[in-house]
Amino acid sequence: MGEIDPSYILPEEYRPKHIVTEEEDIPLIDLSPLTNRGSSDTKALQDLVDKVGHACKTWGFFTVINHGVPLNIRKKIMEVSRKFFALPFEEKMKVRRGIYSTAGYHNNEHTKDLRDWREVFDFYVNDGMSMPASHDPDDPEIVHWFTPWPQDFPELRETCQEYGRECEKLFYNLMELVSLSLGLPPKRFHGYFEDQTSFARLNYYPSCPNPDLVLGNIGHKDPSALTILVQEDVEGLDVQRKSDGAWVRVKPIPDSLVINVGDILQVWSNDIYESIEHRAMVNSEKDRYSIPIFFYPSHDVVMKPVEELVNEQNPAKYSDYKAGKWLIFKMYNNYKKQGFYMRVTDYKIKA
């Protein structure tokens, strides 16, 4: 990471501001009734469905414990993440991310005017996944995207793929709870992910000598259906509270994962659940590592509110669009246009 220009003044709208409340945090949910499948306690499962639905509606974020993702695998991916970011810059640049592809290494070069103080390595949950060749709606060509793994670091690929498989199991379990909370069959959304285009991100936020002048990651919303985040005990994730718009610092909880609603679920639910603004902060003393996985459907899935949630009193709020076309267009714009981030609400039907 480069030195901060002391003459630079962060625009007012991006300056770090947050509140830390001792009495309130995003909901904490114990998934034991789900992970202990042998239990026949239907009331406990219904209570869990209600808690997940309430968290999705009121916060768009929640923390889960007893989630089933093994501790040793979570530790291992954090270890290889540290090893990767410790590589010489020249080695990391050999697997640099392209303009259209979302996989590979990148740092704060393309958003430095917003003080994006981090390094990133993105990888696909399913390597060789099918994607549109471009965001042009009239271009029918399909290509295959692959993660540019470092040739001399096989441990990175093995660990990332293993972690992705474990989180995928949790994702399907969570989507069953979400589906039930919307009054839908438990596997209502599963078919959308048969050829999923999900991707994950290794985040490295170095300690910063002037943390008040930078952001680890500017406020944004995720393009996913759900995002699953693993982080260590270094604070840095802020969530914008729906009730008043204030920034609330998420407190790390041992052996937990953070879950949030993404743009895709907002569309499917026809705004019953909302994708929430969040950001990452840095500090002057500690490095921070986090790993989100963005679960995204097959590229040819037509994104629209599910039929069961649409009626005369509650008409569809979004135009139809292909999931792959929208994702590649969003990523291309967000990568090229400094300070401008596409949002799913750009596709909202105007009243």
**Domains of the chain, start order:** 12-347 (2.60.120.330)
Whether residue 179 contacts residue 272, with contact meaning beta carbons closer than 8 Å, is answered with no
Please tell me whether the overall predicted TM-score, pTM, comes out greater than 0.75 for this model. Answer: yes
Q: Which residue has the higher pLDDT, 187 or 111?
A: 187
What DSSP assignment string belongs to 119-187? EEEEEESSTTEEEESSS-TT---EEEE-----TT-HHHHHHHHHHHHHHHHHHHHHHHHHHHHTTS-TT
Whether residue 203 contacts residue 292, with contact meaning beta carbons closer than 8 Å, is answered with yes
pLDDT value at 338 more than 50: no
pLDDT value at 13 more than 80: no
Whether residue 78 contacts residue 98, with contact meaning beta carbons closer than 8 Å, is answered with no
Lowest pLDDT segment from 203-212, 269-278, 315-324:
203-212
Distance CA 173, CA 304 (A): 22
Q: Which residue has the higher pLDDT, 205 or 137?
A: 205
When pLDDT is averaged across residues 288-303 and rounded to a whole number, the result is: 95
Residue 40 is predicted with a pLDDT of 62
Distance of CA 42 to the CA centre of its chain: 31
Q: Residues 6 or more apart from 9 whose CB is under 8 A from it?
A: none
Question: Across-strand partners of 348?
Answer: 318
pLDDT value at 350 more than 80: no
Lowest pLDDT segment from 55-69, 96-110, 198-212, 214-228:
96-110
* Portion of the chain with pLDDT greater than 70, in percent: 85
Residue 212 is predicted with a pLDDT of 75
Helix or strand or coil: residue 256?
A: coil
At 339, is the pLDDT very low, low, confident or very high (cuts 50, 70, 90)? very low
Residue 230 is predicted with a pLDDT of 97
- Report phi then psi at 305, rounded to 5: -60, 140
pLDDT value at 118 more than 60: yes
**If residue 63 lies in a helix (H) or strand (E), which one and from where to where?**
strand 61-65
Give the per-residue SS3 of 219-235: EECCCCCEEEEEECCCC
Query: 263-278: per-residue pLDDT in tens?
Result: 999 999 999 999 999 9
pLDDT value at 4 more than 80: no
* Portion of the chain with pLDDT greater than 90, in percent: 58
DSSP 8-state assignment for residue 33: H
Distance CA 169, CA 113 (A): 39
Residue 58 is predicted with a pLDDT of 96
Other C-beta atoms within 10 Å of 227: how many? 26
DSSP 8-state assignment for residue 282: -
User: What's the number of CA atoms in the CB half-sphere (13 Å) around residue 242?
Assistant: 14
Please provide the average confidence, as pLDDT, over all residues in the chain. 87
- Report phi then psi at 300, rounded to 5: -95, 5
